[in-house]
Structure 1
């Protein structure tokens, strides 16, 4: 059975100014339930993640300052959110959503988080709406506690996964692959194991041709035992914060390519939703919903 992390705190604990783009956290499960793609049994509400697993990835001083709301005004501005205890609680629940989804993926081949993809969080700081890095926390958990020997991060959000790249810079067991807008945030890029920078306006055909020629080669070369897929839909031409030119159909084909190659090669995959900031919330929800529809069709 497909298991999907979801909690109402994903949307309700955000400041009012940020609730429009984050409305997807409520609308997406409603849409999937309404159309019959999932049932309530597919959803699970994660508990807050234990501190010890946060500290396997994040600097202890940073975590304690974050938890105690002691970040400087400059640090807070870089995260993009007003700092609050409620926001920290939300982040810690999201972290466990991805970790638990990864455990489900070990059993069923795939696990998903309606939130997550917080790839701009570094070991010792947050930025870009990311306070802690769920992909890194879950990957480190698998390496340390589940004897996974090699992880591949496939980050296809429009923004480079700079925090993930920094966290795993000196970790040969994790290969970080980020395909993103070359002239988009973050303007200072970190070095992933493989970065592919895309030109503004990159269309479906160009994007998919690059991905189709890259991903199979990476699987062959790296032989990962687990994949983390950051499936941000801010690659859409309609996205306010992206600069690419993809359609909803092209984004769906992208997700199909990633999920099918994982399924074909029997590599467990955890999917985090990442970004999506189109003017019309319907575009965001439809593009994200396609990822879940594909997961059900391909794996179950």
Structure 2
């Protein structure tokens, strides 16, 4: 939990160009777009069983409920801003182990799943068009909850690049899963990512997506306690550049979540995630520059 405070402080010091705002709370109705109403009610009212709390990984408390709501609300806010400005970020989020009917792996509600469904609904109401979504999940752990929620939804493409032998040990089927061996380093990882991204764009060649959710986990880092991969900080930065550059090339809005990071040295995790946000800020500035240089019709 200390990571989130340290990241917020570092961003305020090192990235003054980022606009920071308080995360709003997701409503019960918004949460029910991706979660069973009975599960939402059990979380909100404190009726989770002992087994359900063990699967989540920490006990119920009013503070847990508020934090979980705001984690989802922050990704909703980031997605709305990304659709308007090109890119925005949640300083937490990436709670991809939460299923429709239960939490798991330190994830209570699935922020990306809720935000994706809500953005699709709002987009259709405003534009009378379908908004296709792509989830690029580069946390070291497979996004099993996200894959399960969107299993039968052709409007959301789920891509997960993760450690083959890491949690969850029983994987779900994403639209595209890339499983990597323990000890995988920069070159092998970046080559696998390039192939996966090519497959993603090929899938959308006829029906392009209109919004990307990017889970930029810091846990593939070689110094991560739970990662089992061996990427350097420079390799992770190059990973982020590839994703951001691909989105920019296609003019696709991108909502960023920080997802996992469990470094033996917490300052290294915070530095990696701050670097991700710095690259996203550069992406936002390029996006705004292009808007400013679009000729005005006469």
Q: Same fold (TM over 0.5)?
A: yes
Aligned to 1:296: 281
Tell me the distance in 1 between the aligned counterparts of 2:238 and 2:155: 29
Q: Deviations over 1:42-73 (max 9, x none)?
A: 00102211211111110011111111111111
Q: How many residues align?
A: 277
Alignment of 1:186-197 (within 5 A): 186-197=168-179
Cα distance, 1:129 vs structure 2: 0.3
Which residues of 2 match residues 187-226 of structure 1 at below 5 A? 187-222=169-204, 223-226=208-211
5+ long unaligned stretches in structure 2 = 125-129, 286-298
1:64 equivalent in structure 2 = 41
Check whether the contact 2:87–2:283 (CA below 8 A) recurs between aligned residues.
no
Pick from 244, 248, 253 the counterpart of residue 263 of structure 1. 248
Q: Structure 1: which 5+ runs fail to align?
A: 1-21
TM-score normalised according to structure 2 size: 0.91
Query: In the aligned structure 2, how far is the partner of 1:64 from the partner of 1:228?
Result: 27
Q: Is the 8 A contact 1:154 1:176 kept in 2?
A: yes
Contact 1:216 1:261 in 2 (8 A): no
CA RMSD between the two structures: 1.1
Which structure 2 residues correspond to residues 15-94 of structure 1 after superposition, within 5 A?
22-35=1-14, 37-39=15-17, 42-94=19-71
- Give the superposition deviation at 1:173: 0.2
TM-score, length basis structure 1: 0.90
For residues 245-280 of structure 1, what are the alpha-carbon distances to aligned partners after superposition, in whole Å with 9 as ceiling and x for unaligned?
111110111011101110111000000000000110
Whole-Å Cα distance in 2 between the matches of residues 26 and 212 of structure 1?
33
Runs of 4+ in 1 over 4 A off after TM superposition: none
Task: Quote the Cα distance in structure 2 between the aligned partners of 1:66 and 1:32.
Answer: 31
Which position in structure 2 is the counterpart of 1:114? 91
Report the equivalent of 1:236.
221
Structure of higher CA gyration radius: 2
Larger deviation, residues 195-204 vs 148-157: 148-157
